[in-house]
Amino acid sequence: MKTFFASAERALTPQLMNDYNQFNNSEWISGFVNAMPDIVAILNKERQIIFGNDILMKQLGISNQQEMVGLRPGEALVCVNASKSASGCGTTENCRYCGAVNSIVESQITHEKVTKECRIIANKNGINEYLDLKITTAPLKYAGNDFSILSVEDITDTKRRDVLEKLFFHDILNIVGSLKGISDLLVRTSGDNQTSFKYIGIVNDLSKELLEEILSQRLMLSAENNELIVAFELANTYDLLNDPFNYLTHHKIAENKLILINPDAAAFQIFTDVTIVKRVLINLLKNALEASAIGNTITMNCQKLADKVIFSVHNPGHMPDHVKAQIFQRSFSTKGKGRGLGTYSIKLLTERYLKGMVGFTSSEELGTEFFIQIPCGQ
């Protein structure tokens, strides 16, 4: 069987059931795993579930242990990457960067306990759930055979709160610090009308930026908590491009970089939530600017495709494979620990609230282009 990372081989059903019966008939094994506060599963050397605790069964919505026997962890949790290959969990290109399969494989090789964080997009009933998990794998010798005992701690809320708080205070403090500095200059130059006017303009711009950041954080918190109310209205696609363009053209992250709107960008009426679309486009443009070098040109575009509209932002840089594989995960960031929600927020807002889709292309030859495709509406 084909694999891009971990072994694709699986144990046959008779062996799986033999192993399952050994654990199922052991009262101390059952008592031990069910005493654990988190999800616990016992895996064979092919990374397949042999036995799991009641918490795992509840998570999977099953009442019979045998329903999960033979599944790999990503398959049980309905990870979107597990279905990308016929060989299943652990065998796709994206699996190379998965903390779960790396924890299992490393523990099997070293015969040591290994703990890693894992980000999973789980598709349940057609809805994506973004999970942050702490995976711990330890070797287990039983009845003369080698197994692994796997525990899964859900740290989704902790990671979300941590990232949101760090991002919020980092951005807000930077803006407020600049606002305070300019305010001090206003006081010292109050006698010079021309200079005062210049600084007042800067204060006004910083105030707008501060308000924008606060509104952005409020929008994301509402979206994450499923409290965001969508309000559709008529809007012109060119205006939707132009607002983020005007907002970020003179922003510090655009310094010595050029933002262009493609002269062939389509201008037509759509029925959508203007606030959400603008937030998504601002994040697309911000990400492109932050990923671009001095002197680079970033191009915004809009096209109509049947009853859909496609907004895109292109920059000349390209992303390495490990970034591509994790780009839409909630807590993944190229900016450092505890930073960045850009691409995750783009995907969340577009797919959950605008009923659209998000994608990207990236190569050394053609650069990187992120796009969103959303319905034109009525």
The CATH number covering residue 27 comes to 3.30.450.20
pLDDT surpassing 90 at residue 126: no
Mean pLDDT of 139-147: 94
Note whether residue 341 is domain-resident.
yes
Query: What is the pLDDT, as a whole number, of residue 378?
Result: 58
Query: What is the pLDDT, as a whole number, of residue 206?
Result: 76
Note whether residue 326 is domain-resident.
yes
- 202 with 307, same domain: the answer is no
Angle between helices 156-188 and 193-224 (to 10 degrees): 170
Smallest CA-to-CA distance from 375 within 271, 280, 283 is with: 271
Note whether residue 49 is domain-resident.
yes
- 146 with 215, same domain: the answer is no
What domain range is 266 assigned to? Answer: 229-375
CB-based contact 277:354 (threshold 8 Å)? yes
CB-based contact 91:101 (threshold 8 Å)? no
Average pLDDT of the chain to the nearest whole number: 88
Alpha helix positions (H), the chain: 13-24, 27-34, 54-60, 73-76, 99-110, 156-188, 193-224, 237-249, 274-290, 321-326, 342-348
Three-state secondary structure call for residue 244: helix
pLDDT surpassing 90 at residue 222: no
- 191 with 291, same domain: the answer is no
Note whether residue 7 is domain-resident.
no
pLDDT tens per residue across span 76-110:
999 999 989 899 999 999 999 999 999 999 999 99
Residue where a domain terminates, one of 154, 169, 194: 154
- 102 with 186, same domain: the answer is no
- 176 with 239, same domain: the answer is no
User: What sign does the dihedral 344-238-229-251 (CA atoms) show?
Assistant: positive
Q: Which of 47-51, 153-157, 167-171 has the lowest mean pLDDT?
A: 167-171
- 331 with 303, same domain: the answer is yes
Mean pLDDT of 177-192: 72
Smallest CA-to-CA distance from 299 within 99, 307, 311, 160 is with: 311
- 145 with 167, same domain: the answer is no
Note whether residue 295 is domain-resident.
yes
Note whether residue 342 is domain-resident.
yes
d(CA 23, CA 231): 54
- 246 with 318, same domain: the answer is yes
Mean pLDDT of 212-233: 83
- 253 with 349, same domain: the answer is yes
Note whether residue 288 is domain-resident.
yes
What's this model's pTM, rounded to 2 decimal places? 0.71
In the chain, % of residues over pLDDT 90: 64
Domain count, the chain: 3
Q: What CATH number is given to the structural domain containing 250? A: 3.30.565.10
Note whether residue 139 is domain-resident.
yes
Dihedral-angle region of residue 336 (phi above 0 means left; psi in -120 to 50 means alpha; beta otherwise) = left
d(CA 222, CA 145): 50
- 188 with 293, same domain: the answer is no
Query: What is the pLDDT, as a whole number, of residue 339?
Result: 42
pLDDT surpassing 90 at residue 118: yes
- 267 with 370, same domain: the answer is yes
- 135 with 173, same domain: the answer is no
pLDDT tens per residue across span 316-373:
999 988 888 888 877 666 654 444 456 888 999 999 999 999 999 999 999 999 999 9
**Residue holding tokens 């969103």?**
372
